[in-house]
Chains A and B, each alone.
Chain A
Amino acid sequence: MKKLIWMCGAFMATMAMNAQSEELSGMEGLFETGGTDVFSPSPMIGPTSELGIIQKSLDDMFDFEIMDIGLPQGIQDNPPPPVPLDGGLTALLLAGGAAGYRQYKKKRA
């Protein structure tokens, strides 16, 4: 019997809560003015507001700027070939060792 009373009580309480939320849902549009939600933060971040200026200044902060570095004409489209020399450095060191050995052999003879 006690169980039945508890179940009835719980059912009544659930019904009451549902009715309350339905009543609250009737308050939609209460704080709206001309289609704009008063509680929305969007009108605060307009281009002229303080936050908007900060936002705008941060927008391009990490973008690369295209700069003219003043390369001579024709370099951008056709890069000139380098004229390196380092390729034969090891060979030259070995040749130096060989030339030194030859010189000492000559001295000894």
Chain B
Amino acid sequence: MNALKTWAASNRPFLFFLGRFLITFFGLSFLYSLYLVYVERQGDLDLVTYWISRGSHELARFLGVADCEWSCFIDGCYVGRPGRMVNILEGCNGLRLAIVYAAYVIGIGGWNWRSLLQMCIGLVVVQIFNIIRIGSLIALRDYGGDLYFYFIKYVFGVWIYMSIIVLWLLKPRIDKWLGAK
């Protein structure tokens, strides 16, 4: 018990970070869940999934997927060539991961304008990574073969998680650019 108290006393800033990190994560997740409940009651699809699927559709077309179709329903969107479509659900939109990223930024920097700016830019960057992930998946599914399943299972999961960790590791440098001491 004494060892724990000594550790807590010497790592007080880390414990404050942990508190801010978790409170921000659960707070933002709660707000997002409220939004999802509201959207469900309206009988609508959430806007993040809508825009992610739309961006993925545009990217897939840019990557050369011919006859790429895009249709959204209450439970998600279908993008791709008929018969080789990809189902983009709420869990695929990457917003929960973006919330973890934002919680880290707030946890480290506290509630100030630099953190809020990084949070907003980070949200956009994570979503861009996600659009690249889903757009490439649609193109790979159109291409055919086992490559798609290999990528969906291993490569793109690592891709999106690594993008967030790299953004976290770059944070001190971004702070310096923004003029933090």
Contact = CB atoms under 8 A, between A and B. Distances in A.
Interface stretch (B40-48, B57-65, B75-83, B114-122): B75-83
B137 interface: yes
A81 interface: yes
A35 interface: no
A54 interface: no
Interface stretch (A37-45, A56-64, A72-80): A72-80
A107 to B, nearest CB: 8
A104 B17 contact: yes
B133 to A, nearest CB: 8
Contacts of A103: 108, 171-172
B157 A72 contact: no
A46 interface: no
Given A72-B71, A92-B97, A100-B18, A80 B87 contact: yes
A83 B92 contact: yes
Interface residues of A, number: 30
B85 A86 contact: no
Nearest to B137: A83
Interface string B139-179: 00000000000001000110011001100110110000000
B27 interface: no
Contacts of B164: 92
A84 B95 CA distance: 11
A25 B83 CA distance: 75
B123 interface: no
Nearest to A83: B92
B78 A80 contact: yes
A92 B100 contact: yes
Contact of A73 (B82, B86, B171): B82
Given A80-B85, A82-B87, A83-B88, A95 B107 contact: no
Contacts of B130: 85
Contacts of A93: 25, 100
Interface in B25-61: 25
Given A71-B73, A92-B100, A96-B103, 13 more contacts: A74-B83, A75-B78, A80-B78, A81-B87, A82-B86, A82-B92, A83-B87, A83-B134, A83-B156, A92-B161, A100-B21, A103-B108, A104-B11
6 nearest A-B pairs in the assembled complex, by CB-CB distance: A74-B83, A80-B85, A84-B91, A73-B82, A80-B87, A96-B104
5 contacts: A80-B86, A84-B91, A85-B96, A100-B104, A103-B171
